[in-house]
Structure formats: structure tokens, C-alpha cells
Amino acid sequence: MLKSILVASDLSSRSKFAVQRAVQLAEGSGAVLCILHVVEDNLPEEGSRQEIQAAEDYLKDQAAGFGKPPACHVTVATGRAFQVIEEEASAREADLIVMGAHRRQPLRDLFVGTTIERVIRTARRPVLMANSKTGERWRKVFIATDMSEASGQAARRAHALGMLENAHVTFVHGYAPITRQMMIHAGIPAERIHEEAERELQSKRGELGQFIEGLNLRGLKYNTRIIEGVGADAIIECVEQAKPDLLVIGTRGLSGVKRLFLGSVAQQLMGCVEVDVLAVPPQA
């Protein structure tokens, strides 16, 4: 279960939804909540003092407006935002970091290089990108899985933190029906192609079922959904059609120079979908 939550706010309207979600999660779990705002450290001392005080007052009022949970603290710190967020989360042993969605541009997506992208890239704990403007409890949750250890860890962690409780959970897996394409090119009759495609689909369902059973998600009731297509585009299309309240994804475990980049699928999902997204690193 959630015991400690850190929500980072830049005082924007997007961050308001993150604070709203964090308050709702803290009230439901009894977790200690820290609301963090980071002030750039290049301001004059007097200006920095004034901004810190103004931010503290604003965030306290905002949290109270959402029904501030009993254990709620407001912290304003100085420094580089993504570094301070991770440092504060580590110091407080936060189980979860909550942040607002990045600012979307009309002509192109600029997720890469945003504060939330940097936090997800470097954090050793789950990060929730709060897109929902209602703050209502999650009733429909999708877990995107490629049956890798990373996606399995994402499901296990979300379950352990109680984030799947009282929700209709569906594991979503995309695959490319290779048999169908090969048989079409070979001129095989349509009826035979349909039979083989159905056999391939049933085989994938069996693989997915075994994978989920191996995760030992005790007490979790779930469905599975297998879609044609692989990569982010297939998941994005599925999310846009089904409109879940929360999408759970795993990020790859990288180190060194490679850690400077998120996996391309996770990166595209975080940059495009408009539902809440829980990104879980393998080491979480």
C-alpha cells in the first residue's frame, strides 16, 4: 500500500490536477503527502524569499481546497527541478511521485526534455503523470504488456501499492499476426487463413495467461485484451478507443549513457495519451 506520496507542482493548471490526484490517493490510502515546488536558484535572494513564501501559501490553500489529508506537508526548495524532485522523493522514501502532464504544443510534441520526462528517466520509483481533470477514482485500468520483465514489474508494483483496487483491470498485449500475412502472400484460401489466424490468436492468449499467472498478483481479478499491432501506436489507438482511467507501463532498466533515453514505446505513450499514466522502472 501507499505510505508516502510526493507530488511536484510548478503552480500551473496542469499541476493542479496532479495535486488533486495526489490528495485523493493519500486520503484513500492514509499515506503521508508532501507537496513540493522547486524555485530556480538563479533568483536574487530577496526575490527567492518572496517566491518561496508565495508558493507555500498558494499550495497550502490549493491542498485545503481538495480536502487536504491529515498528514500533508508543503515544501518549497531551490535548484534544478528534476534533481530536487528525485532527491526529495528519496529523502522521504516516497512510494510514488505524482506530476502534472507536460505542456503539449500545437504542432509537435515536446515530451523529451521536459521535467517529467527527466524524472521518469532517472527515478527509482513509480511516477504518475496525472492527466485527468476530474480526480475521480480509477474504475478502468489498462496494463500494457509485452510480456517482458519490465512490464511484469510494472504490474506487480501497481498491485503492491494498491493502485488496482476496486478497478476493472485489463492486460493489453499487441502482436503482429505473422501467419496471416505469410498465407495471404502465398495465396492460401481465406477460410484457411482465418482458421490459422484464430489458432495463432489463441496461442497468444495462452502465453499471456501464463505470463500473468507467473506474476503472482494475489486476489487480482482481470481480463486480457490482445490487439493487432505492436509498439506505441497500437496501444495509443486502443487507449483512445476504450478510454481507461489509468494506463500502467514499464520503463526499461538502463544505466550509463543509455539511461539518458527512455524506451521509445514508453516515451511515445507518455507524450501522446490523455489518461493518467503510471510509469514504473524495473528497480522500483
pLDDT attached to residue 262: 46
Residue 57 has pLDDT above 70, yes or no: yes
Q: How many CB atoms lie within 10 A of CB 195?
A: 13
Once rounded to an integer, what is the mean pLDDT over residues 3-7? 97
Same domain flag for 63 and 179: no
Q: Is the torsion defined by CA of 185, 186, 190, 192 positive or negative?
A: negative
| Beta-sheet pairing, 276-280 with 127-130 | antiparallel
pLDDT for 164-208, tens place per residue?
Answer: 999 999 999 998 776 666 666 667 777 776 777 788 889 999 999
Which one of 132, 156, 185 terminates a domain? 132
Cell of 87: 532527491
pLDDT for 221-262, tens place per residue?
Answer: 999 999 988 788 899 999 999 999 999 999 874 443 333 334
Same domain flag for 54 and 116: yes
Same domain flag for 164 and 72: no
pTM of the model: 0.88
pLDDT attached to residue 49: 81
Whether 225 contacts 201, CB under 8 Å = no
Same domain flag for 100 and 226: no
Whether 60 contacts 31, CB under 8 Å = no
CA–CA dist 59, 146 (Å, integer): 39
Same domain flag for 20 and 101: yes
CA–CA dist 266, 283 (Å, integer): 16
pLDDT for 127-138, tens place per residue?
Answer: 999 999 888 899
CA–CA dist 91, 83 (Å, integer): 12
Cell of 279: 510509469
Cell of 117: 520526462
pLDDT attached to residue 179: 64
**Kind and range of the H or E run holding 77:** strand 72-78
